[in-house]
Chain A
Amino acid sequence: MLAVDKIVKNIEDKKLKVGRYEFTSRLFVGTGKYSSMEIMVDALEASGTDVVTVAVRRVKISETTSLFDYIDTKKYKILPNTAGCYSADEAIRTAHLARETGISDMIKLEVLGNEKTLLPDPVETLKATQILVKEGFTVLVYTSDDPIIAKKLEDAGAASVMPAGAPIGSGQGILNKNNIRIILESAKVPILVDAGVGTASDVTIAMELGCDGVLLNSGIALAKDPVRMAKAMKLACESGRLAFLSGRIPKKLYAKASSPEKDF
C-alpha cells in the first residue's frame, strides 16, 4: 500500500447557517437582468447556488407566465428582497407582502438612501431591521462596509449582515478590504459580501478574507456568457473558501527557496 493511501484527509466544509436555514453553497445568486429566462435557469444551475433572490412587484394583470415557471422552489430557497425601497416603512410593507405569499420568512432587507449611488440608508436600515426581527423575520441585511453600522445591525438581531464590496452593479470588487476585515473580526453572524462583484477573483478575495458567502447578480447576468461566468463564480467561491480555511503563508520581502540547498 502506498503511503498516500493512508493520509486522505476529510476537507468537507461545514454548512452555512443563516438563522434556522442551512446552505451547502456559499454563493447566493440574483435572478434579475438576464437576457432570457432560459439563460437564467442555466446560469443558476452552473452557479451551484442553493439560494436565489427575487424582487416584489405588482402583478401585471393578464400576464400568464410567472418567474416560478422557471425557478424550481424545491431546488432553490427563495430570498425576497426589498429592492427599490427608500424608507423603513416601505421596506417593512414589502417584507410583509413577501411573507404573505408563503414563500419564506427570510428577507433581504435593502433600504436605499440615494437613487444615483444606490447606497444604503443606515438609519432607515437599522430601524427596519429592529422591527422585522421583532416580527419574526429572518433578516439578511444589506449595508455599507462600515463596521460600526454592521455591528449595530447584528446587535439588532439580523441573521446575516451583508456589506457591499462596492456600489450595486458597479463591478468594482472589494473596495475596502480593511473594513471587511474589521467587520469579520467581531462578527457573530454570517457576513456575506453583497453587491459590487465584477468577476471571479472578486468572489475569491471576499472568501479569502473570511466572508461566509457572497451574493451577486449583475456579475453573472450581464457577463457576455452568463452560464460560463456562473461556473467561474462557483469555483471562485469554493477556491476562496478553501484558501481561507487552509491559512495562507505570510507575505515576505525576500525569496525563500522551495528546494533544499544543493549538496553535491
Chain B
Amino acid sequence: MKITLNGELKECPDGITVEKLLDLYKIDKNRTAVELNLQVVPRKEHSSRILKEADVLEVITFVGGG
C-alpha cells in the first residue's frame, strides 16, 4: 500500500504498524514524535497502531534553532 511519509509517497506492506514503519525506513526513535493524519500518536501506541492506505505520517525531530 502507499502512504505519505514526511511529504513523500512511500510503499510499505499492508497492515504495518507505526513502529515497524520507522524501522523499515531506519528512523531513530529517540527524540522523535509521530503524527498520523494530523493527530499525535503517543509513543506507547507506536507498536499497536496499524497504518492504512493513503495515511499521512509526519515524523519530526529537533534541529538547530533560535
Asked whether, in the complex, the Cβ of A168 is within 8 Å of the Cβ of B66, the reply is: yes
Query: What is the CA–CA distance of A57 and B64 in the complex, to the nearest angstrom?
Result: 10
Asked whether, in the complex, the Cβ of A66 is within 8 Å of the Cβ of B30, the reply is: yes
Interface size on B, residues (CB 8 A): 27
| In the assembled complex, A166 has its CB within 8 A of some CB on chain B | no
Query: What is the CA–CA distance of A58 and B4 in the complex, to the nearest angstrom?
Result: 13
Question: What's the nearest-Cβ distance from chain B to residue A55, in Å?
Answer: 3
Asked whether, in the complex, the Cβ of B60 is within 8 Å of the Cβ of A57, the reply is: yes
Asked whether, in the complex, the Cβ of A66 is within 8 Å of the Cβ of B43, the reply is: no
A-B contact count (CB 8 A): 105
In the complex, residue of chain B having the shortest beta-carbon distance to the beta carbon of A28: B66
Residues from chain A with a CB closer than 8 A to the CB of B35 are: 93, 97
Residues from chain A with a CB closer than 8 A to the CB of B61 are: 56-59, 66-67, 101
Residues from chain A with a CB closer than 8 A to the CB of B59 are: 58-59
How many interface residues does chain A have, given as a range? 35 or more
Asked whether, in the complex, the Cβ of A100 is within 8 Å of the Cβ of B40, the reply is: yes
> Which one of B11-19, B20-28, B48-56 is at the A interface?
B20-28
> Which one of A75-83, A122-130, A149-157, A249-257 is at the B interface?
A75-83
Asked whether, in the complex, the Cβ of B33 is within 8 Å of the Cβ of A100, the reply is: yes
Instruction: Name B66's contact: one of A32, A59, A98, A103 (CB within 8 Å).
Output: A32
Instruction: Name A58's contact: one of B30, B31, B58 (CB within 8 Å).
Output: B58
Asked whether, in the complex, the Cβ of A97 is within 8 Å of the Cβ of B25, the reply is: no
Instruction: Name A66's contact: one of B5, B28, B38, B65 (CB within 8 Å).
Output: B28
Question: What's the nearest-Cβ distance from chain A to residue B54, in Å?
Answer: 19
Asked whether, in the complex, the Cβ of A57 is within 8 Å of the Cβ of B62, the reply is: yes
Asked whether, in the complex, the Cβ of B64 is within 8 Å of the Cβ of A56, the reply is: no
Query: What is the CA–CA distance of A29 and B59 in the complex, to the nearest angstrom?
Result: 26
Residues from chain A with a CB closer than 8 A to the CB of B8 are: 61
User: Which A residues contact B (CB, under 8 angstroms)?
Assistant: 30-34, 40, 53-59, 61-62, 66-68, 78, 80-81, 83, 93, 96-98, 100-103, 168-169, 195, 215-218
